[in-house]
Amino acid sequence: DVKVTQSSRYLVKRTGEKVFLECVQDMDHENMFWYRQDPGLGLRLIYFSYDVKMKEKGDIPEGYSVSREKKERFSLILESASTNQTSMYLCASSETAVSGNTIYFGEGSWLTVV
């Protein structure tokens, strides 16, 4: 079975802290994504990556950065956490569109910034 693993399910952080959310996939997928999900707003794309050391901004990249040093790992970084970044964060991976394959999601990370 394809597995996308988000290392932290629940986190509580203080305003101004640097936060790392880690995601690992075991299917050798080229593409990896970070979304946040908020009530009434649906899933919003923060960053995505087509390949190692490659990153592209999504729809809401402000306040976030990412790192992809290895193909299987995609990290989301909140440089200085703020209360408006309290949300559910979802990592996903997929093959390229040419192969037409599905996208797989992790279980999500609930982040509360106080």
Partner 1 sequence: KQEVTQIPAALSVPEGENLVLNCSFTDSAIYNLQWFRQDPGKGLTSLLLIQSSQREQTSGRLNASLDKSSGRSTLYIAASQPGDSATYLCAVRPGNRDDKIIFGKGTRLHILP
- As measured in angstroms, the least distance from the Cβ of 110 to partner 1 is 7
Candidates 12-20, 67-75, 77-85, 106-114 — which segment interacts with partner 1 by CB under 8 A?
106-114
25: its two tokens: 């996939």
Nearest by Cα to 21 from 10, 33, 6, 36: 6
- As measured in angstroms, the least distance from the Cβ of 24 to partner 1 is 14
Binding of partner 1 by 83 (CB under 8 A) = no
Whether 110 and 9 have beta carbons less than 8 Å apart is answered as: yes
- As measured in angstroms, the least distance from the Cβ of 98 to partner 1 is 8
Q: Residue 80 corresponds to which amino acid?
A: S
CA distance 27 to 2: 6
Binding of partner 1 by 60 (CB under 8 A) = no
Whether 20 and 77 have beta carbons less than 8 Å apart is answered as: yes
What is the binding site for partner 1 (CB under 8 A)? 4, 31, 33, 40-43, 45, 48, 50, 58, 88, 90, 92, 94, 96-97, 100-108, 110
